[in-house]
Amino acid sequence: MTDSAIRHTAFGDGTPLVLIHGYTVDHRVLLPLEPAFADRPGWRRLYLDLPGHGASPRLSGPTSAAALAEAVFAWIDAELGGRPFAVVGQSFGGQLARAVTARYGEQVLGSALLVPVVGWGEDRTLPAQTVLERDRELFDRLPAAERELFEYTTARLDKRNWELFEQYVLPGWRVHDRAAAAELEADFMLPHWPERQAPEHRGRHLLVTTRQDALVGWHDQLALLDHYPRMAATVLDGAGHNPQVEHAEAVRGPFGAWLDELRRP
């Protein structure tokens, strides 16, 4: 363990794969990806807790997108040195993963971006919030704050998805640093699109979005295809902002194919 403000959870051995979660959750939101590695040995999965999230203390100074990106860069420098690695980013972590690819260039084998942030506030093209299914009896029993978060990020509000939400989303949400999160929300975007500060990246890349994501949308993310000539894209139907939780099998398909592509010459 380094002196970094970032703590991480590791599984497996082999090529490093850095996984970066989104805003106000922690690394557990990405754990549903783990079954994809059952028959794909040779990956050391490094699940980060961003500063102010999970087990990681908040930054000593103000929290912003740029400050968190610098913290991730410092962690990579300390933990990985010059070794090749791949990166996964979910939601806000997708913005940071894009910055990592721009910063480290050919050292990055490729990236998988799950519902990545590309704009915020009025700079988003969002679909109408859509609930495809609702278990009214279950929904009405939930605490108000958790009910609101569940409804805002999930397309099918049923017992199965609530249990997944309790296991993978709520633990990080309950322990995140509220003051740091408020600072980050006020300074949520990097100064520039990372891709516009770097040459085309010709590694293997994956984009996964969902039609029912009312938080970051799906339309704006398609512009990323212009910056990554080897990017595959999947727009899922039937899931909200945490598709790797709500629609895990549908995500693990293209995610597993991306891992396989990274192994090709």
| Cα 72 from chain centroid (whole Å) | 14
Distance CA 87, CA 179 (A): 28
- How many folded domains does the chain comprise? 1
Whether 26 maps to a domain, the answer reads yes
**Weakly modelled stretches of the chain, pLDDT under 70:** 1-3
Listed residue (225, 216, 222) closest to 120, CA to CA = 216
pLDDT digits (tens, 9 = 90+) for 187-198: 999 999 999 989
CATH number of the domain that residue 210 is part of: 3.40.50.1820
Read off the tokens for 239. 């899931």
pLDDT at position 1 is 35
Whether 105 maps to a domain, the answer reads yes
Read off the tokens for 252. 């693990």
User: What distances in angstroms separate CA 63 from CA 41, 52, 53, 164, 184, one per listed residue?
Assistant: 36, 9, 12, 29, 5
Q: What is the number of alpha carbons within 13 Å of residue 185 lying toward its C-beta?
A: 8
Partners of 110 in the beta sheet?
204
Whether 100 maps to a domain, the answer reads yes
Whether 162 maps to a domain, the answer reads yes
pLDDT digits (tens, 9 = 90+) for 196-222: 989 999 999 999 999 999 999 999 999
Distance CA 141, CA 146 (A): 10
Domain span including residue 112: 7-262
Q: Based on the number of CB atoms within 10 Å of its own CB, is 38 exposed (0-12), middle (13-18) or buried (19 or more)?
A: exposed
Whether 1 maps to a domain, the answer reads no
Whether 183 maps to a domain, the answer reads yes
Whether 84 maps to a domain, the answer reads yes
